Chains A and B, each alone.
Chain A
């Protein structure tokens, strides 16, 4: 602190400027304000302002320290969870492979000696282990979404074109009609965005109405700070009460016999949209088709 004669106190305007500078410094965490600074005050009011600034600075420091500790703890927890999912899925696969391999062997080598019930049991074992294999793989895929990915510019028109090309066999099979309006260019994770469109379109075809041609339209609208994408279908629709549940992992609304699959598709979609800082939701009525919306910020 520089000394300017006996009295360090500042004039009113200089004091205001000093306070302003200190506020900026506090917000940046570089304030050196302490009791020695009290000398700058020329009256009781200014002294109180300085005291207030010191308290503010101390409080802010405390919050910052607490916040940092929480961030570190969360990052650790997050990493732990990702690891847990990955390791559990990997380690679960080995004993499962043993079950599958030996049941297959049993089926092959003892086909003639096993009676009908025995074969039926074996079939249950094989089917269950296949399903478990599938569940594990999908859990693994889910945990990998957005890991070590690079943000790139994505032309959604081109992306959707590729998705539809990939799905052309299924679409021809079902005579699906897809209308794609002009889509924007966004910043995002390419593989994930592709999977997002693919999941939504393939759901639209999968959950089509019997005896009607699936009609799907894909469009996007400009919002305040984000694009709102829309994937609309004329399928079987979703009841109001299930609108949240369908985004959960392994949640299904139909029996395995009616529609195959594990029920992770929309959970993938949700995670993909969320790693882009977006949101996903839907409008639907049972029997009246569904419209899935998702928001992607411009400046992600």
Chain B
């Protein structure tokens, strides 16, 4: 099984973070799982990793509908980060939205690798690991 160094969850809903963190931990596919409850906090974390020479998350799950900085606004700022950060991170949107426009918008963004619907499940997690990380070895 693929094992990641770090997964970052960005969602304003505490129970959602709780559940998803538990799911990832129990799947045993990451050394650490970090949860942030807003887009701003997520960005700060990425910047602090880069500045503090802490390993960046390999995988980010990003919610869309959040107060203040929503998922789309997060992506605007994320885009401005150093390219070395973006090249190390795989970003997947994890949303309740069934709106096809959201899906399309995500697909058109270079920074977004995938779009999945809540609830997040072990099967989805395994598929992501299989699709995006398996070829990297480990």
Which residues of chain A have a CB within 8 Å of any CB of chain B?
Answer: 124, 127-128, 241-242, 251-256, 263
Q: Are A253 and B15 closer than 8 Å at their CB atoms?
A: no
SS of A interface (majority): loop
Q: Which residues of A contact B38 (CB under 8 A)?
A: 255
Task: Give B59-76 as 1s and 0s: 1 = Cβ < 8 Å from A's Cβ atoms.
Answer: 000000001100001000
Q: Which residues of B contact A127 (CB under 8 A)?
A: 15
What are the 10 tightest A-B residue pairs by CB atom distance, in nearest-first order? A252-B67, A124-B15, A253-B68, A253-B67, A254-B67, A255-B37, A255-B67, A255-B38, A128-B15, A255-B12
In the assembly, what is the distance between CA of A252 and CA of B68, in Å? 6
Q: Which residues of A contact B67 (CB under 8 A)?
A: 251-256, 263
Q: Can you identify 15 A-B contacts, CB atoms within 8 angstroms? A: A124-B15, A127-B15, A128-B15, A251-B67, A252-B67, A253-B67, A253-B68, A254-B67, A254-B68, A255-B12, A255-B37, A255-B38, A256-B12, A256-B67, A263-B67
Q: B18 at the A/B interface (Cβ < 8 Å)?
A: yes
Q: Which residues of B contact A252 (CB under 8 A)?
A: 67-68
B138: min CB distance to chain A, Å: 31
Q: Which residues of B contact A255 (CB under 8 A)?
A: 12, 37-38, 67
SS of B interface (majority): loop
A140: min CB distance to chain B, Å: 21
Which chain B residue has the least Cβ–Cβ distance from A259? Answer: B67
Instruction: Tell which of B18, B37, B73 touches A124, judged by Cβ atoms closer than 8 Å.
Output: B18
In the assembly, what is the distance between CA of A251 and CA of B12, in Å? 13
A261: min CB distance to chain B, Å: 10
Task: Give the size of the chain B interface in residues (CB under 8 angstroms).
Answer: 9
Q: Are A242 and B18 closer than 8 Å at their CB atoms?
A: no
Which chain B residue has the least Cβ–Cβ distance from A250? Answer: B65
Known: A255-B37, A255-B38. Is A242-B15 also a contact (CB below 8 A)?
A: no
- Which residues in window 1-56 of B have CB below 8 A to A? 12, 14-15, 18, 37-38
Most A CB within 10 A of own CB, among B15, B38, B68: B68
In the assembly, what is the distance between CA of A242 and CA of B39, in Å? 15
Q: Which residues of A contact B73 (CB under 8 A)?
A: 241
Which chain B residue has the least Cβ–Cβ distance from A263? Answer: B67
In the assembly, what is the distance between CA of A253 and CA of B67, in Å? 5
Which chain A residue has the least Cβ–Cβ distance from B15? Answer: A124
Q: Which residues of B contact A253 (CB under 8 A)?
A: 67-68
In the assembly, what is the distance between CA of A255 and CA of B14, in Å? 11
Which chain B residue has the least Cβ–Cβ distance from A127? Answer: B15
Extra pairs beyond A127-B15, A252-B67, A255-B37 (13, CB < 8 Å)? A124-B15, A124-B18, A128-B15, A242-B68, A252-B68, A253-B67, A253-B68, A254-B68, A255-B12, A255-B38, A255-B67, A256-B67, A263-B67
B38: min CB distance to chain A, Å: 6
Q: Which residues of B contact A242 (CB under 8 A)?
A: 68
In the assembly, what is the distance between CA of A127 and CA of B15, in Å? 10
- Which residues in window 105-133 of B have CB below 8 A to A? none
Q: Which residues of A contact B14 (CB under 8 A)?
A: 124
Which chain A residue has the least Cβ–Cβ distance from B40? Answer: A255
Most A CB within 10 A of own CB, among B18, B67, B73: B67
A283: min CB distance to chain B, Å: 20
B10: min CB distance to chain A, Å: 12
In the assembly, what is the distance between CA of A296 and CA of B52, in Å? 55
- Which residues in window 82-114 of B have CB below 8 A to A? none
In the assembly, what is the distance between CA of A296 and CA of B14, in Å? 41
Which chain B residue has the least Cβ–Cβ distance from A239? Answer: B68
Q: Which residues of A contact B12 (CB under 8 A)?
A: 255-256
Q: Which residues of A contact B37 (CB under 8 A)?
A: 255
In the assembly, what is the distance between CA of A263 and CA of B12, in Å? 14
In the assembly, what is the distance between CA of A263 and CA of B37, in Å? 17
In the assembly, what is the distance between CA of A56 and CA of B14, in Å? 64
